[in-house]
Structure 1
Amino acid sequence: MAVKPASELVINWHLTEACNYTCRYCYSKWHADGAGKELIHNAASSATLLAEIYRHFAPTPRNHARLGMKWQSLRLSIAGGEPLLYDREIVRIATQAKAIGFNVSLITNGSRLTRPLMAELAPQLSVLGLSLDSALPAINREIGRADRHSLVLLQEELSEIVALGRKLNPDLRLKINTVVNALNFTEDMSPLIRQLSPDKWKVLRMLPTVTSDLSIADYEFAEFVDRHTLLGNIISAEDNSDMVESYIMIDPRGRFFQNSLSGGGYRYSAPILDVGGEAAFRQINWLAKKFISRYTAEASEYMA
């Protein structure tokens, strides 16, 4: 039986800004601020960061007391940009993280996920996340979910690659992330979701952290969610207020960062490798209760 998500504390490391898509509402844009290059390109620095993050967030009584909640395991969620633009680095980091003690997940747009790469990654992953905002090629192109040659994701091929991953790792869970915006809020994505049969479908309202382009009203987000209620309890809907200060996020240069509903970009900590995980984490706002509230099942069990 799949582990309930609330039993894990999830650390989201956005390894790169680079992406082969140009989504108009992309939030994966970070200020360099003289902080150096993306750590993904430095094997030694990446390994040191992984060790420090695990030390700071490992499920120990001391860490439970410091964060004000309990968790049973720690998951590193590898995200971007599009992380599979650097597939060799991703395989290395996923393998290192699992060896340290993390569960490992990967969030990708799927466009660079090949069968040979899936064969390497599937044994390392507990969760494969796919960012899919539309089943319609025209809508994907208008959003910006197409490469520089205007090619969009081939969904049939993706379905076959996902099936291969599940065959190689029967415990692999599939999660789909969909950003609901002004171009897709009237769409019925049920056929695509049923085809891929994810364990979880996270439906997120477009967050105007970097831009308000394609933002939607409350009732438009509600319409999208209501249209898909027949899919059952795999749906997890998150409005803008649910996302702020409820995620633990690290930017490509190894800084904790946090977003704001008021816009204006992100707030950053000092680089973790410079000041350590504990000091850096104190420099951003994160609310344990908001993290737990995203997981309604057994929520009270995980509060200290």
Structure 2
Amino acid sequence: MSDIPIAINYHLNKHCNLRCKFCFATFRDVPGALDVHDARALLTRLREAGGEKINFAGGEPTLFPHLALLIEHAKALGFTTSIVTNGARLRPLLERHAEALDWVGLSVDSSHEEVQAALGRGRGQHVAKSIAHADHAHAVGVRVKLNTVVTALTWDEDMSDLVRRMKPARWKVFQVLPVAGQNDGDVDQLLIPATAFEAFLERHRPLAAEGVPPVAEDNQAMRGSYVMVDPLGRFYSSLTGRHEYSEPILQVGVAQALRQIGFSMAKLRARGGLYRWER
């Protein structure tokens, strides 16, 4: 298989405590999720197929009741482990499982609490809570990644001071992505042209001199460049503008399922998806 799934995003569940208007992983069309036994088996298959880094996402992954067990299992298999979270139940995870968790990705799209609330991310305390989570992660030796989605409400903002305060090892900056069947109807008023996205990036490029350059991903860079697994254990892609799913990985194997969704290793490399992620 030419395209080995080195870095994998496993969306464990579709449940979330927030309602971000731009979310492209609502999984309205996915009933349920794998049980913990099959989820463990899936991780084993992915590792055997060449997986090196596993990122647990959702929905909100900290709401998945067996997240800690899967992180521990993934670390025992030899994965670099990561989660991307709004912080809902992050504190106990950091307190009890920091040795098995290499990265925590915190989702923050604005420095302003009222803007975060308008986007559907929290009710006015999201920024403050995210700063506290970043401090906690640093204190227990877990590397911090910051994920920012740039929208019509934020493209002209300067987040430099917040980025400096949170001290991420990596800052991912995404152009808001429309995906049919996932966020249509909610995301329309938040979409931005390439010029607005570039203006946001240009404003923050001086952070590169401080060791935190924005790692940019526009809509074209995102499509087809991720190995993503849905809650039912299928690879999926949004190459066509909506989610297209493979057959279940545990039934047909990693290689066959991956071929069904059009993943491109070349696009992953082009967007800077390969980096020094080891702890």
2:113 is aligned to 137
* Larger Rg belongs to: 1
Q: Which one-letter code corresponds to 1:153 in the other structure?
A: H
- Confirm whether residue 56 of structure 1 aligns to residue 49 of structure 2: yes
Q: Percent identity?
A: 36
- Confirm whether residue 197 of structure 1 aligns to residue 176 of structure 2: no
2:230 is aligned to 251
Contact 2:268 2:274 survives alignment (8 Å): no
Instruction: Tell me how far 1:154 sits from its aligned partner.
Output: 4.9
Q: 1:92 to 1:159 in 2, by over 3 A?
A: same
Q: 1:219 to 1:32 in 2, by over 3 A?
A: closer
Which one of the candidate residues 204, 207, 218 is aligned to 1:239? 218
Q: Any stretches of 5+ residues in structure 1 without a counterpart? A: 1-7, 59-73, 300-304
Contact 1:14 1:79 survives alignment (8 Å): yes
- Confirm whether residue 43 of structure 1 aligns to residue 36 of structure 2: yes
Instruction: Tell me how far 1:167 sits from its aligned partner.
Output: 2.6
Q: How many residues align?
A: 263
- Confirm whether residue 164 of structure 1 aligns to residue 108 of structure 2: no
Contact 2:11 2:58 survives alignment (8 Å): yes
Q: 1:50 to 1:163 in 2, by over 3 A?
A: same
- Confirm whether residue 113 of structure 1 aligns to residue 90 of structure 2: yes
Contact 1:111 1:153 survives alignment (8 Å): no
Instruction: Tell me how far 1:84 sits from its aligned partner.
Output: 1.0
2:27 is aligned to 30
Q: Which one-letter code corresponds to 1:17 in the other structure?
A: K
Normalising by structure 2, what TM-score? 0.88
2-side partners of 1:219 and 1:77: how far apart? 30
What is the DSSP-based 3-state SS (H/G/I as helix, E as strand, rest coil) of the residue aligned with 2:126? coil
What is the DSSP-based 3-state SS (H/G/I as helix, E as strand, rest coil) of the residue aligned with 1:57? coil
2-side partners of 1:98 and 1:152: how far apart? 32
**Matches of residues 1-304 of structure 1 in structure 2 within 5 Å?**
9-30=6-27, 32=29, 37-39=32-34, 42-58=35-51, 74-86=52-64, 88-114=65-91, 116-146=92-122, 150-155=123-128, 157-169=129-141, 172-210=142-180, 211=184, 212-213=187-188, 214-232=190-208, 233-234=211-212, 235-260=214-239, 263=241, 265-295=242-272
2-side partners of 1:54 and 1:109: how far apart? 26
What is the DSSP-based 3-state SS (H/G/I as helix, E as strand, rest coil) of the residue aligned with 2:220? helix
Q: 1:154 to 1:203 in 2, by over 3 A?
A: closer
1-side partners of 2:75 and 2:195: how far apart? 42
2-side partners of 1:83 and 1:259: how far apart? 21
Contact 1:104 1:124 survives alignment (8 Å): yes
Contact 1:15 1:78 survives alignment (8 Å): yes
CA RMSD of aligned residues (A): 2.1
1-side partners of 2:127 and 2:87: how far apart? 9
Q: 1:153 to 1:111 in 2, by over 3 A?
A: farther
2-side partners of 1:296 and 1:31: how far apart? 27
Normalising by structure 1, what TM-score? 0.81
